[in-house]
Amino acid sequence: MECIKNNFGRQRPCKCEQCKNTELMELKVTELLDAMLKLEQNWDSYGAAPINKKAIKIANQLAPHLSGFRVVPTASGGIQFGRSMDDVEIEISA
């Protein structure tokens, strides 16, 4: 795990507690994404599509850069990362 905190974009190894927690969160996100692959047609009882394997692949690539974001499947078969900060909502879909 690399941390760019207080380093203005230059990556350096980090052993801080926050980064250790981030590693655990990434593991959980990976496990969650794997579980989403098992969702079948109509998984939400409203006709949702199965989760697209390409969306899972992209989401796995994004996950290390989006620590602290919630990860949810979308009815169209995609993955959405979201986060609320103060009065701002950020959403990224794959």
In this predicted structure, the answer to whether residue 41 has a pLDDT above a threshold of 60 is yes
**Among 44, 76, 75, 73, which Cα is nearest to 56's?**
73
Q: What is the DSSP letter of 3?
A: E
* pLDDT recorded at residue 23: 54
pLDDT digits (tens, 9 = 90+) for 53-91: 999 999 999 988 888 888 889 999 999 999 888 888 999
The mean pLDDT of 27-54, rounded to a whole number, is 90
What are the sequence ranges of the domains in the chain? Answer: 2-93
pLDDT digits (tens, 9 = 90+) for 2-19: 444 443 344 445 555 555
In this predicted structure, the answer to whether residue 50 has a pLDDT above a threshold of 90 is yes
Cα(61)–Cα(3) distance, integer angstroms: 16
* pLDDT recorded at residue 73: 92
Beta carbons within 10 angstroms of residue 45's beta carbon: 6
Amino acid symbol at 51 = I
